[in-house]
A and B are shown apart, each in its own frame.
Chain A
Amino acid sequence: MHQIVQAIILGVLIGGVYALMASGLTLVFGIMKVINVAQGALVILAAYLSYWLFSHLGIDPFLSILVVAPAMFVLGVAVQLVFVRSLRGPDASELSLLVTWALALGIEGVLSVFFKTTFRSTLPSYADRSWDVLGYNVGFVRVLAFGTSAVLLILLSLLLTRTRFGRAVRATVQNPTAATLLGVDANRVQTLSFGLGVSMAAAAGAVYGVIYPFNPGSHYDLISRLLSIVVLGGLGSLGGAVVAALAMGVIEAIVAVEISPIWASFSFFVVLITFLLVRPQGIFGLRERTL
């Protein structure tokens, strides 16, 4: 029992970080029906940026979010303008899968030239600190990572519910045509939210680099998890992504201690497939319209 509770604590803490990564992915899908396969690679890119800032300039990885996230926002806007927007026609969504995949390969290639393929991790002085709470071991960095992710997710949802931009975004998600008729500049909304999605990946990447070692090839593992999370949560649903991410964290952690770590991520895929059998649209997803 003790082990299971410990596993749940770990799972929730990690799940929060995955939720942050997945939020950008599901937001972008909701608005422009584009799956950004490069989200994983962008997370890794941000992890490297934050690693570089830490090891060369001594900037704390959590503070480096303030630098990395805006920089990656600009990158996201550029990617949307150059690669994603130019896709037109009925296959645009499917083509975007492949274009962003190519982008992921490109990022991986560039990173392995600059940073080589050895695993890195950002290790601030407090990396090893941990608390014993009621006999449960809780890593300080994990709590900080979870807290940061939670704060950013709350900020994101406030942005979406309390601002003019947020209303425009939600209107576009619900009915793009009507939104345009009401004077929403769809192109602007798409570009800005793509940038926003990428900056979420960036923030998550800075956090990721502190908890996990990473190398340029790490994005494959990441993207397979992130995509499973957004599908399980329901494509386009922010709440669904959060619930699914926490579920993934907990399921994997429990399987890892109770059965074996080698079946941990496999178990999540099985849950996903089984769930889709019952509910093809995911937890909170609406049935996808024919595009």
Chain B
Amino acid sequence: MTRNVVRLAALAGGGALLAAALTVSGSAATKAGPLKIGISLSLSGDFSDSGKAAQRGYKLWANVVNAKGGVLGRKVQLIVQDDTSSPTQAATNYQNFITKDKVDLVFGPFSTLLSAPSAAVANRYGYAFIEPAGGGPAVFKEKLHNVFFTQPAPVLQSADVFAKFLLSLPKSQRPKTAAYPSLDDPFASPIADRVRSLLEKAGVKTTYKTIYPSETTDMGPIIQKVAAGHPDAVIGGTQNNDAFAQVKAMVQQKFSPKFVFLTNGPNDPAEFPSKVGAKNVNGIFATGDWFPEAKSPGNAAFVAAYHKAYGAGAIDPTSAEAYAAGQVVQDVAAKTHSVDNKKVIATLHTGSWPTVEGVLRWNSIGEPQGSDLLVEWINGKLYPVYPSNVALHKPVVPKPAWGG
């Protein structure tokens, strides 16, 4: 008797559970489940540091947006897959996201070298390719209509702002000669080449130019050649280490030109002073797409949320770029009440979009139409100095002597 009662109760309970489960799944179906976003990232291999920085930015955005109820009432679910820094694997991952996992959207990986083949895969299946870190010419050369690069300017044009700044100076202060030692890297020498062509057109003579390979660790001979031409300006397309090495070699050879601009390296507020000596940083220029102090839309909130989630350490701009990709989707959804890829692509080609990277606009092949920031080390701190509407300090020229 008692046994029967128990069994009956169990049955009833089971039935109730089942009914509950049915209603839950039913209500989930009407909301179309979570918003799935596929992202291939380099969690191992050469690009893994930046890949992980991008992952932090994406995750932060997902957490922030989910805390507010998600996008169009759907929770954002990121599907992140390691591509081991290999383009073959990155393309495979996007194919898996789209044809196997049937994700709603995809976001870009880290590096142009992986974005270029991945963008082609996304394009094939009609997916928008909102990407934070593929700003090199290879991505835009494909002339794909689905690409949207979430930084203020294509990487190639990132140093144009320095040329514009120099040409904005009164003639007496402008450099008359310049030397261009650059790294053989898609994100280094082509940028300096552009600055060179802009300056040559404006009458700045080139005393020396060279491209060195990435394994060059000894900048001594190169700087020796640079110094031999006594240029007013040294303009280098660099990544971090070679930039450090260039500055160190200039200090060592006591060669102090009036202008030093290096595309990357000096824009790393944590590493640069420790690598070249805090007393040697002043007057050195670099560019960047994002700074913690920048007054771009939502930036203060982003910085606060980042520090809350990941501690007080320095923020890699890549995290901000990835976060911006999320912001763009959020804005499109708010505006059109849809995250359909066709609609996303059509919508993003019109209007301008506020992000932590600034207010972004794109042309038909996804090149952003803005300008990067020119930054300078002044009194041991890094300030945006140009264009003047975003400047936090007046630029200081010429560069003080080393140690000054």
Contacts and interface: CB of A to CB of B under 8 A. Distances in A.
Q: Please indicate which of the listed interface residues B211, B241, B275 has the most CB atoms of chain A within 10 Å of its own CB.
A: B241
Interface in B25-54: 44-49
A117 to B, nearest CB: 5
Interface residues of B, number: 30
Contacts of A264: 213, 216
Contact of A213 (B46, B221, B241): B241
Q: Please indicate which of the listed interface residues A211, A257, A261 has the most CB atoms of chain B within 10 Å of its own CB.
A: A261
Interface string B212-238: 110111101110110000000000000
A128 interface: yes
A253 interface: yes
A3 B221 contact: yes
Interface stretch (A6-14, A22-30, A185-193, A240-248): A6-14
Given A116-B48, A123-B275, A260-B211, A211 B217 contact: yes
B317 to A, nearest CB: 14
Contact of B221 (A7, A123, A130, A217): A7
A262 interface: yes
A109 B252 CA distance: 35
Contact of A260 (B210, B218, B248): B210
Contacts of A257: 221, 224-225
A117 B213 contact: no
A212 interface: yes
A61 to B, nearest CB: 16
Interface string B68-112: 000000000000000000000000000000000000000000000
A117 B241 contact: no
A137 interface: yes
B155 interface: no
Interface in A100-134: 109, 112, 116-119, 121, 123, 128, 130
A265 interface: yes
A6 B227 CA distance: 15
B303 interface: no
Interface of B: 44-49, 184, 210-213, 215-218, 220-222, 224-225, 240-241, 244-245, 248, 251-253, 275, 277
- Counting from the closest, the 4 A-B pairs by CB-CB distance are A261-B212, A212-B217, A119-B241, A213-B241
